[in-house]
Every structure is written in structure tokens, then in C-alpha cells.
Amino acid sequence: MNINEAYLKFTQKVNKNYTNDNIVVDRGRFVLLFNEVQNKFVEWILEKRNEDDIRDIQILLVPDKQLSLKEKILNHQDFELPKDFFSFSNIQIFGRSKGCKSTKLFSYEVKSENVEELLNDEHNKPSFKYRETFYKIGANTVNVYVDDFDIAKVYLTYYRYPRKVDIEGYTKLDETASTSIDPEFDDKIVDRILSACAKEFNINDENLQKIQFEKDRIFSRI
């Protein structure tokens, strides 16, 4: 489904939801709404982790992206998250020590408030000998903790943001002309997103009640 077809279908869905006919939605508002709702849709899918639903967003899964080292601070080495990072899936961490080749480490995620305790725990602190470490994600980085070794490589599997759509025919907020960018999901997913957009759409009419966004209600399969 291209973006013009999506816009037309959205307009039809909006008019179907109300007794008023010929409700006009400007193209700029449609684009903003679609991009917002498709992000909420992906978030909803990932929260549910339903096997059938999660197949619908596999186009967004980026496997084994090698991360770039950003800086070394005290007892952790920080790797930069991709700019299009949306949600974590898996991570592989490889460490190296003097005289030893790069080796894959067992790793697990921790909370910030537990880091100091783990670093001071002989049984849980990072160890090249036992091939284990821990990490935390935040502030656009992955912080990997070390002791007497360095991190050689970090590979991240993650879900990226869906591509933002656009449609020709309006002037954007930065005063540039819009261009047509189609949705990247298949038609059945685009249709679900459009149905959610129609329910999310607020009509400025005192006789019509504002539609509230309820993720489980608007995204569930019909």
C-alpha cells in the first residue's frame, strides 16, 4: 500500500466512524498521526511478545550489529547504540586479555542500583577467567563492565524504529516541501495502523466526543 492509498483509506475510515460526511484531514496532520501510531503499534507488539504478532514486525529486526566503542570510564567500556535503536533483542559480548585471543563472554543485564554491589562481589563481578560480565543500557549507550580485561567486540540484535512516512502536497514544519515515502509494513499491518489512527483522530467539533487512545482496544485483531 503506497502512502496516497493509505491516506485515502484513512479518510474513509474517519468518515465511517462518524455521522458527519466528508471530514477532511490535512496531509501534514495525517503524516504526524501515522508516524506516532506506528511507533505505538511496534511498542505494543513488543510488550505483548505474542509469537504470531511479533512476526509482523520482523522487518524491523536488525541482527548482530557491531557497536562502536565510545569511551572507557573507570570499570566499564561504553558502546554507542545505533541511532535507529527502538528495542533490545539480544547481545553478544567478546572479551580479551593479555596473551589470550578474543573470547565470547556470558553476559546479563543489570540495573544501575545493583552495579556497585556486583562489582564488589567476588562471585559475580566481571571475570575473564570465568568468561562472564554484565551490562546496562541507557543514555544511548551500552555500558559493559570489566575487571582485568577489555571488551573486544559487542554485537547487538535490536528492533529499529519503523521508517517515517511522508506524503507529497504540504509544507513541513521546517518549511521544506514534503515528499512521498511509503509505509514499509505489508498491507494488513498498515490497515491495522490506519484503523488505530482513525480511532486516535480528534475531531474539533463540540458535538463529538474525543476518542481516547487505548492500545489493546485499537490494535487487537478484528
**74 and 139 assigned to the same domain:** yes
Neighbours of 84 (CB within 10 A): 14
Count of domains forming the chain: 2
- Work out the mean pLDDT of the chain and round it to a whole number: 87
Question: Which tens digit of pLDDT belongs to each residue from 150-189?
Answer: 999 999 999 999 999 999 998 888 889 999 999 999 999 9
CATH code at position 150: 2.40.30
**65 and 53 assigned to the same domain:** no
**171 and 148 assigned to the same domain:** no
**156 and 66 assigned to the same domain:** yes
**77 and 131 assigned to the same domain:** yes
**Joined grid coordinates for residue 76:** 566499564
Question: Which tens digit of pLDDT belongs to each residue from 180-207?
Answer: 999 999 999 999 999 999 888 854 433 3
Range of the domain at 188: 3-58+163-219
Question: For 49-186, where are the alpha helices, taking DSSP H only?
Answer: 51-54, 115-119
Question: For the chain, where are the alpha helices, taking DSSP H only?
Answer: 3-17, 27-48, 51-54, 115-119, 187-200, 215-219
With 50 as the cut, is the pLDDT of residue 211 above it? no
Query: 3-7, 133-137, 161-165, 173-177: which has the minimum mean pLDDT?
Result: 173-177
The rounded distance, in Å, linking the Cα atoms of 30 and 3 is 10
**123 and 206 assigned to the same domain:** no
Write down which residue in 140, 160, 180 finishes a domain: 160
The rounded distance, in Å, linking the Cα atoms of 139 and 132 is 23
Facing residues of 171 across strands?
177
Write down which residue in 110, 134, 160 finishes a domain: 160
